[in-house]
């Protein structure tokens, strides 16, 4: 009798859980996996080293934005500087969306209500809420911002706001402000390719919205490794030993 009661309860529990599970996941693509970015410097696949970073027709900067851009001295890409003031040199986090343009992979873990992006570079993460909530009002500005997502067919549309404006958008020095809003459209174009199309909206820094793209390749045999930025300070010793002046 006791066993039968347990069996009935178990059947009921499965029956209650199943519809939610099926509705939450079955109809949607799974973006989970370990993804490695293609190209490492900008959000323009046709200009991976940022040779056209100062092209105002591509990056329509306001006077305020242009002033910030000119003050930014990248350590990477076509216009790299020996004396760089890239915030990540001092181990400030890259934030979003720059975590996409490190040379290191990310692990995406998808559940019906969350999408987690775990970034190898500097061991940082991003959570995208898929449960229908809205952005909080009066957010504290942060490096990653606050992200909510919804599905449009096979595409996950993520909206992010609440940035602190302290990082760069990419590795070639494009600035942004606290007014930045990102709209990302993420799609698994085939089993091994993830495409992220981003619209940058930041009226303080750019005179109009502009778009960028990042492509990721699935690396099924890889595991995330650890990259702690502060370990880079071992390079201070290398610098002093070698006498070679690197970026600060």
Partner 1 sequence: MKSTWSVAAAVVVMAVAAVGIGEAHHGTAAYDTTTNVTVSGIVTEFRFVNPHVLVYWDVKDESGEVKRWSGERSGPNSMARNAGWNRNTIKPGDEVTITGRPAKNGTPTMAISKIVLNGKELTSGGDN
The residues of the shown chain that bind partner 1, judged by CB under 8 A, are: 40, 74-77, 80-82, 84, 88-89, 103-104, 120, 222, 225-229, 231-232, 234-235, 238, 241-247
Q: Partners of 211 in the beta sheet? A: 199
Q: Closest distance between partner 1 and the C-beta of residue 124, in Å? A: 15
Q: Closest distance between partner 1 and the C-beta of residue 86, in Å? A: 9
Q: Closest distance between partner 1 and the C-beta of residue 170, in Å? A: 14
Cα–Cα–Cα angle for 172, 175, 178, rounded to 5 degrees: 150
Q: How far is CA 151 from CA 28, 48, 92, 129, in A?
A: 8, 29, 32, 12
Torsion-angle region of 48 (φ positive above 0: left; ψ -120 to 50: alpha; else: beta): alpha
CB closer to partner 1 out of 81 and 183: 81
CB closer to partner 1 out of 152 and 237: 237
Closest CA to 194 of 208, 211, 210, 214: 214
Q: Closest distance between partner 1 and the C-beta of residue 241, in Å? A: 6
* Paired tokens of 63: 């006077």
CB closer to partner 1 out of 129 and 246: 246
CB closer to partner 1 out of 53 and 115: 53
């Amino acid at each position: 009798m006791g066993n039968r009661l347990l069996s009935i309860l178990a059947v009921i529990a499965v029956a209650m859980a199943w519809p939610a599970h099926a509705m939450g996941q079955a109809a949607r693509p799974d973006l989970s996996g370990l993804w490695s970015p293609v190209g490492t410097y900008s959000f323009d696949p046709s200009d991976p080293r940022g040779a056209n970073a100062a092209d105002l027709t591509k990056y329509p900067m306001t006077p305020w934005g242009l002033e910030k851009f000119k003050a930014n001295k990248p350590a990477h890409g076509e216009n790299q500087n020996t004396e760089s003031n890239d915030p990540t040199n001092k181990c400030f986090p890259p934030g979003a969306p720059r975590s996409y343009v490190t040379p290191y992979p990310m692990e995406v873990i998808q559940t019906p209500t969350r999408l987690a992006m775990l970034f190898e570079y500097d061991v940082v993460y991003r959570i995208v809420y898929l449960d229908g909530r809205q952005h909080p009002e009066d957010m504290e500005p942060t490096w990653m911002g606050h992200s909510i997502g919804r599905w449009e067919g096979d595409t996950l549309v993520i909206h992010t706001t609440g940035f602190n404006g302290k990082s760069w958008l990419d590795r070639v020095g494009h600035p942004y402000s606290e007014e930045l809003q990102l709209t990302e459209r993420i799609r698994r174009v085939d089993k091994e390719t993830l495409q992220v199309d981003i619209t940058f909206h930041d009226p303080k820094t750019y005179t109009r919205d502009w778009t960028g793209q990042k492509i990721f390749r699935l690396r099924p045999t890889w595991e995330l490794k650890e990259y702690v930025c502060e370990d880079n300070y071992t390079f201070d010793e290398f610098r002093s030993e070698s006498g070679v002046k690197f970026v600060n």
